[in-house]
Amino acid sequence: MFDTLQDRLQATFRNLRGKGRLTDADIDATAREIRLALLEADVNLGVVKEFVGAVKERAKGEELSQALNPTQQIIKIVNEELVEILGGQARQLRFAKNPPTVIMLAGLQGSGKTTLAGKLGLWLREQGHTPMLVAADLQRPNAVNQLQVVGGRAGVPVFAPEPGNGVGNPVEVARASIEEAKRKYYDTVIVDTAGRLGVDAELMQQAADIRDAVDPDEILFVVDAMIGQDAVNTANAFAEGVGFDGVVLSKLDGDARGGAALSIAKVTGKPIMFASNGEALKDFDLFHPDRMASRILDMGDLLTLIEQAEKTFDVEQSRKAAEKIMGSGDFGLDDFLQQMQAVRKMGPMSKILGMMPGMGQYKDALGAIDEREIDRIEAIIYSMTPAERAKPEILNGSRRSRIASGSGTTVQDVNGLVNRFMETRKLMRQMGKGGGMPGMPAGMGAMGGMPGLPGRPAKQQPKKGKNARKVSGNPAKRSGNPAAAAAQQPQTPQTEAEMQAAMADFQLPPELQKMLNQNNLGPFG
């Protein structure tokens, strides 16, 4: 959604790189570009003026003049101001002291309230609550049935005493749901209300009547993030007619310009509490202004990525896999498949990689990722015998031909997977033992193990003595040398000179070298 804004801001910041000092003219030009970028993203004009004014005031003050790197300080200022207009900090749900907690959803028809009710119910259930959905939208055709289907998928019960389709009193249904929740000990009630194609008096009155009947602890205004400035106008109308405590942004995965997300919190004064960024029920979470600002500025969202990984990965399984790959066991293709499937549960690969810092410039490549490639990898591994998965080294030509036939792939596909797996396993074991990667800066390789495996010290390399035996370059002579085997193993550089020599000799794959060159990253940039 924020691709256009992200591209414009990145282009603006690139123009500042390499400047040791920024003049007032540089700051004015940067502010003008930021203003145009926000206006193109359909951000509210008043919000744009306030945002650009704050950036210019801070940039021309002592805060920038005392900075060692003025360009980075500009980015820091923009990031902080983005966080501010997005709401400042995440706002948690307020729960009633005496259950049930009543949450009322309001918004226009088509904003995604019914689907979002199921997402919120699933999210609360995963937090340890016992939610119940209430079908109080009795006018839209099949709205009740839709909520029942969504509730069934989320594993959340639905209170639907009326069939809907114009039959029943939504206010009475909402009132009765509170007694139903108390009787069956549900601690949270989520009331799905009717929407309209536009703001009108009837909609406001019905929503106000339901509000008065259930006395909700939270009224959440659900807004389609793709409708631009209309989202702000509708939010203001609801705030005056019914009132609400927080905003839920739906359809954040769309390709609209996203101005609503950057405007609505500042204009209405109400925080954005949740965000829905996909069609799956799990594509829903708390809205974190700081993380959203980081995504817009292409600084990634590693905290969300870590949280998703913690929810998805089995800790014990990951620990055993880490121990195997570090050399205390045999890390086979079965272990690799389990880890790959766990990553896949986190969502599409393009979405996962998009949370990494600096990936904004690779949007086209991320969009071109073929998720079916993972299916092909699974088919290849499932076509192997248990022994072949455990010991890929035994895969000879005939075995690989059989696997290719069984998986509907080619021998080249099987060779490619096996070779990549063997190289990756070798590299990970080298890093885990403290050997490090040739050409990496000092200290980077000597990690001593993976997270979750403390106390795995790096193996000490033998010190070079003055009388160390020299190894012949002749293979015939070397075969009789007891130290030949040890000498053939790659040695970790011990001095800065050796490190520089290793860096000079090390060759990266062309694609990775190109990426590093473009970003001025590392010793190879």
Q: What is the rounded CA–CA span in Å between residue 15 and residue 37?
A: 15
Q: What is the rounded CA–CA span in Å between residue 92 and residue 306?
A: 20
Q: What is the rounded CA–CA span in Å between residue 151 and residue 491?
A: 59
Residues whose CB is less than 8 angstroms from the CB of residue 293 and which lie 6 or more positions away in sequence, other chains included: 79, 82, 83, 86
What sign results for the dihedral spanned by CA atoms 225, 8, 271, 204?
A: negative
Cis peptide before 100 (omega within 30 of 0): yes
Neighbours of 149 (CB within 10 A): 15
Binding site members for GTP: 107-114, 192-196, 250-253
Binding site members: 107-114, 192-196, 250-253
Tokens encoding 261: 């997300």
Q: Which residue has the tokens 């980081």?
A: 294
- Cα of first residue to Cα of last residue in the chain, in angstroms, is 31
Q: What are phi and psi of 316, to 5 degrees?
A: -65, -40
User: What does the DSSP assignment read for 208-277?
Assistant: HHHHHHH--SEEEEEEETTSTHHHHHHHHHHHHHT--SEEEEE-TTSSS--HHHHHHHHHH---EEEEE-
Among candidates 251, 256, 297, which has minimal Cα distance to 275?
251
458, exposed or middle or buried, with CB in 10 Å at 0-12, 13-18, 19+?
middle
User: Coil, helix or strand for 138?
Assistant: coil
- State the amino acid at position 462 in one-letter form: P
Helix (H) / strand (E) containing 293: helix 289-296
Q: What is the rounded CA–CA span in Å between residue 390 and residue 411?
A: 19
What stretches of 368-410 show up as alpha helix (H) in DSSP?
372-382, 386-390, 397-407
- Residue count of the chain, please give it: 525
- State the amino acid at position 122 in one-letter form: L
Q: What is the rounded CA–CA span in Å between residue 468 and residue 432?
A: 27
Adjacent-strand bridge partners of 106? 221
